[in-house]
Structure 1
């Protein structure tokens, strides 16, 4: 199946699942599919700079990465619709809610690192996309914690995708302005 068909199939499935949950991009009125398409866009661009990159696999993961965590979708449903490898990738990208909060990230990163670097790339792309203007209800402590998680993620997934690692490193540096209270978010003075 061509990449365009795979993209359409995955985005329609994910959109249906996220809309059923009335899920929006946190801190906005935007439908959640905006986040998913932004992660997929990061993957599409990264593929251009990444030799031997399995774009067909990665773009499906990008669009489906939150379906197990945030919707009624099941592992078996994803495996039936998209194949067992995609379901395993989505599962690795899903935090285990049975674990204490402090252990969730490490567990997910361990499972991600057991799979191909395309899964690593989706996790990097997800955090790149999430390092935007934080919801206005986040405290400075929450913003700092989120930035520190991004640093941990970047360090743990080093060697997975050089292009996305560089992008994430830049986003982490830019995110500091949200913590320090800088009010001009849309342009920066050099």
Structure 2
């Protein structure tokens, strides 16, 4: 079982792995901001009771976006952390449209813990798009992302009412614009 110290190590690990990455938004925020937001949402959703889940939220993009391996995560944290990250990691060898289709298809078949990470990730992404959309993204592309994210989240529903409401709130805010 992981401790709060391990959670701090997970934050540091993620920060080091993503050190040169920035968000795509006009504000070009450090990527770690996304990871900490996802982690905070997951921690709130589980009441802070599952340190491995919270650590996996902090690490959820490390394999997909860096040179990190699942074995490295298992050795540094736990097999469960590595397995949760694996459940939410896209296969970057596939074309983008196929990865997006598979996210929709697979969402309903992931574990409840992985669904929490996915819900938090999509919520954070939508918040980012509202506050700092990528330069050059027309309104139609932003709307298409919101619609796709809703399709992914549809497969995660029934997992956590509070986190689903957070997603719904940001979606409603976008829809009201």
Gaps of 5+ in 2: none
Is residue 99 from structure 1 mapped to residue 97 from structure 2 by the alignment? no
> CA, structure 1 residues 29+98, in 2 after alignment: closer, same or farther (shift >3 Å)?
closer
Give 1:39-58 correspondences, 5 Å limit: 39-48=38-47, 55-58=50-53
Q: Residue 75 of structure 1 corresponds to which residue in structure 2?
A: 70
Q: Equivalent residue for 2:126?
A: 131
Please list, as runs of the form range in 1=range in 2, the aligned pairs for 1:83-162 lying within 5 A after superposition: 83-111=78-106, 113-132=108-127, 133=131, 134-162=133-161
The 8 Å contact of residues 24 and 32 in structure 1, kept in 2 or not, is answered as: yes
Change (3 A) 1:8 1:121: same
Helix, strand or coil at the partner of 2:46? helix
- Higher relative contact order, chain-length normalized (CA < 8 Å, sep 6+): 2
- Give the alignment's Cα RMSD to 1 decimal: 2.0
Greater C-alpha Rg: 1
Shift of 1:137: 2.2
What is the TM-score normalised by the length of structure 2?
0.87
In 2: Cα distance, 1:7 partner to 1:96 partner: 26
Match of 2:10 in 1: 10
Q: Which runs of 5+ in 1 are unaligned?
A: 181-190
Q: Go from structure 1 to structure 2 and tell me whether the alpha carbon gap of 1:3 and 1:131 turns closer, same or farther (over 3 Å shift).
A: farther
Aligned length: 172
Deviation at 1:117, TM superposition (A): 0.9
Q: Secondary structure at the match of 1:131?
A: helix
Residue 113 of structure 1 deviates from its aligned partner by 4.2
Q: TM-score, normalised by structure 1?
A: 0.81
**CA deviation after TM superposition for structure 1 residue 70, in Å:** 0.8
Moved over 6 A (4+): none
Report the CA distance shift for 1:45/1:54 in structure 2 as closer, same or farther (over 3 A): closer
Structure 1 pair 46–94 and aligned structure 2 pair: CA distance change class (3 A): same
Q: Where does 1:177-188 land on structure 2 (aligned, <5 Å)? A: none
1:120 touches 1:160 (CA, 8 Å); kept in 2?
yes
Whether the 8 Å CA contact 2:42–2:54 is kept in 1: the answer is yes
